[in-house]
């Protein structure tokens, strides 16, 4: 069976977040992995869930592919929820009036509030935590079973890469770290955990003879070391080894609803019309340039909940379209940001415009205009905009804007001072079940926000 991950080189049943010990992970892992076991060697997403099995079954190496497949499915779910919430909060896309309610999702009734309500916690906090915890638990199982052999084991490498990206999503999306029943910690704990995980993933992937996984680990390290931990020289040392045409993706399918690319699913114009490009930056930018990185189409429909025109994103068009977790193109932007940190804005602009070379307008086939800057501040503005375009709707913008605001970086950026929070708060369920978190805990707010802080 094909594992739910994609790398190319052209080169708690319910989790009590962070409180469950390793061995009881089996029912949760099996609830996920059982969905992907098949009776033939071919990959077929139309499968039968065999139901609960004994924990010892998962110690059998024959089950390890299924375990990692389940972890991959959870990572994909975490990603699309980050795409949905982050895209709405930072106005990458516009809500048409109805809260998408599929798969237990309840987006905040007031955009940007991101308060500690149970609907939000069930949808986002839980998914993000499981995307970290499930592959980490798989690695612990493989280590226990195999001992030193786990350090060159393909499935250890695969699980580590997934755990690394799960922690990276947490770092970009969640305000406060809670790890396995701990009290509240600084968000930085997720980034440090991601660094350690990707570092081991690189080592194990190399030992296992898995160069594509090793490259994914390098790309993850570049993301984490630079944007998460501010160690730009270390980030560049990894980013520079990742080719521009490399991608590592979360996998989606066209079988059951949980497998869908939900940015396609809820903008498809048929069953759901909950999001539109109308009034987002992409509306005018695409009209003016035809840049295919923010492609959308006017469906001509206004039968959305609030009667807004349905301008449908076309970055992805099929339910089975995969979504980048890391790419070589992002590596060039990490290198550019590292140069800006050193004041080398002309060299940074060369890297930014290197990504525009070869791109042509969807409208008339002419080259996409080069970005322009005549100062360090203008180059920062160009970098921020280029990440906005390059990573559009990939669940990255909320983390980007929060970090730039907190660090008071130069350059213009959209005004998000009205957004109370640019991260997911600790869920009410976590507070209720974790005695190490005070009931009156309040997560950080956007430093630019001047209103009253709701938990």
Please report the pLDDT score of residue 24 as a whole number: 35
* Averaged pLDDT for residues 48-60: 63
Residue by residue, DSSP assigns 88-143 as HHTTSSEE-SS---GGG----SSTT-----HHHIIIIIHHHHHHHHHHHHHHHHHH
Which residues have CB under 8 Å from 367's CB, separation 6+? 356, 359, 360, 361
Distance CA 296, CA 187 (A): 34
Residues 359-405 pLDDT 10s? 999 999 999 999 999 999 999 999 999 999 999 999 999 999 999 99
Please report the pLDDT score of residue 32 as a whole number: 43
230 versus 3: the higher-pLDDT residue is 230
* 161: pLDDT strictly greater than 60: yes
Please report the pLDDT score of residue 100 as a whole number: 56
226 versus 303: the higher-pLDDT residue is 226
- Confidence tier at 119 by pLDDT (50, 70, 90): low
Please report the pLDDT score of residue 452 as a whole number: 80
Q: Helix/strand/coil (H, E, C) string of 293-344?
A: HHCEEECCCCCCCCCCCCEEECCCCCCCCCEEEEEHHHHHHHHHHHHHHCCC
Residues 190-228 pLDDT 10s? 999 999 999 999 999 999 999 999 999 999 999 999 999
* 453: pLDDT strictly greater than 90: no
Contact 30, 53 (CB under 8 A): yes
Distance CA 346, CA 339 (A): 9
Instruction: Give the closest residue to 154 by CA, choosing from 94, 207, 216.
Output: 207
Please report the pLDDT score of residue 120 as a whole number: 64
386 CB-side CA count, 13 A: 31
* Averaged pLDDT for residues 15-39: 36
* 38: pLDDT strictly greater than 80: no
* Averaged pLDDT for residues 338-366: 98
Tokens of 261: 């690319």
* Averaged pLDDT for residues 28-40: 38
Which residues have CB under 8 Å from 193's CB, separation 6+? 132, 167, 179
* 276: pLDDT strictly greater than 60: yes
Please report the pLDDT score of residue 455 as a whole number: 77
Tokens of 6: 């994609």
43 versus 298: the higher-pLDDT residue is 298
Instruction: Give the closest residue to 313 by CA, choosing from 251, 366, 392, 400.
Output: 392
Please report the pLDDT score of residue 190 as a whole number: 98
* Averaged pLDDT for residues 399-412: 95
452 versus 54: the higher-pLDDT residue is 452
* Percent of the chain residues topping a pLDDT of 90: 69
Average pLDDT over the chain, rounded to an integer:
86
H or E stretch at 214? helix 211-223
Residues 237-273 pLDDT 10s? 999 999 999 999 999 998 887 789 999 998 887 778 8
- Confidence tier at 121 by pLDDT (50, 70, 90): low
């Amino acid at each position: 069976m094909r594992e739910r991950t994609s790398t190319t080189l052209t080169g708690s049943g319910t989790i009590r977040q962070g409180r469950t010990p390793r061995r009881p992970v089996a029912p949760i892992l099996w609830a996920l992995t059982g969905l992907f076991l098949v009776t033939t060697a071919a990959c077929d997403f139309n499968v039968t869930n065999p139901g609960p099995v004994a924990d010892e079954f998962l110690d059998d190496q024959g089950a390890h592919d299924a375990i990692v497949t389940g972890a991959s499915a959870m990572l994909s779910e975490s990603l699309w929820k980050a795409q949905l919430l982050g895209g709405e909060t930072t106005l990458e896309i516009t809500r048409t009036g109805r809260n998408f309610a599929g798969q237990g999702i309840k987006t905040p009734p007031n955009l940007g509030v991101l308060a500690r309500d149970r609907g939000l916690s069930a949808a986002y906090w839980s998914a993000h935590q499981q995307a970290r915890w499930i592959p980490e638990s798989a690695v612990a199982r493989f280590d226990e079973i195999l001992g030193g052999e786990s350090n060159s084991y393909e499935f250890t490498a695969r699980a580590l890469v997934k755990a690394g990206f799960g922690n990276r999503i947490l770092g970009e999306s969640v305000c406060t770290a809670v790890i396995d029943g701990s009290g509240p910690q600084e968000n930085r704990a997720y980034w440090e955990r991601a660094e350690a995980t990707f570092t081991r993933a690189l080592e194990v992937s190399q030992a296992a003879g898995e160069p594509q996984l090793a490259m994914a680990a390098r790309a993850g390290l570049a993301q984490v070391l630079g944007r998460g931990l501010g160690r730009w020289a270390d980030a560049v040392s990894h980013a520079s080894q990742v080719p521009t045409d490399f991608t590592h993706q979360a996998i989606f399918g066209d079988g059951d609803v949980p497998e869908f690319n939900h940015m396609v699913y809820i903008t498809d114009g048929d069953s759901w019309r909950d999001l539109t490009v109308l009034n987002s930056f992409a509306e005018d930018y695409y009209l003016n340039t035809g840049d295919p990185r923010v492609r959308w189409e006017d469906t001509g429909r206004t039968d959305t909940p609030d009667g807004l025109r349905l301008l449908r994103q076309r970055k992805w068009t099929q339910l089975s379209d995969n979504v980048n977790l890391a790419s070589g193109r992002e590596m060039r932007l990490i290198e550019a940001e590292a140069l800006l940190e050193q004041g080398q804005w002309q060299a940074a602009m060369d890297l930014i415009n290197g990504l525009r070379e070869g791109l042509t307008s969807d409208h008339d086939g002419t080259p996409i205009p080069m970005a322009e800057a005549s100062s360090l501040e203008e180059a920062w503005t160009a970098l921020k905009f280029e990440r906005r375009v390059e990573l559009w709707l990939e669940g990255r913008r909320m983390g980007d804007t929060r970090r730039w605001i907190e660090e008071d970086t130069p350059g213009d950026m959209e005004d998000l001072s009205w957004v109370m929070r640019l991260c997911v708060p600790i869920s009410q369920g976590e507070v209720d079940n974790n005695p190490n978190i005070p009931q009156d805990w309040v997560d950080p707010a956007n430093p630019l926000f001047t209103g009253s802080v709701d938990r």
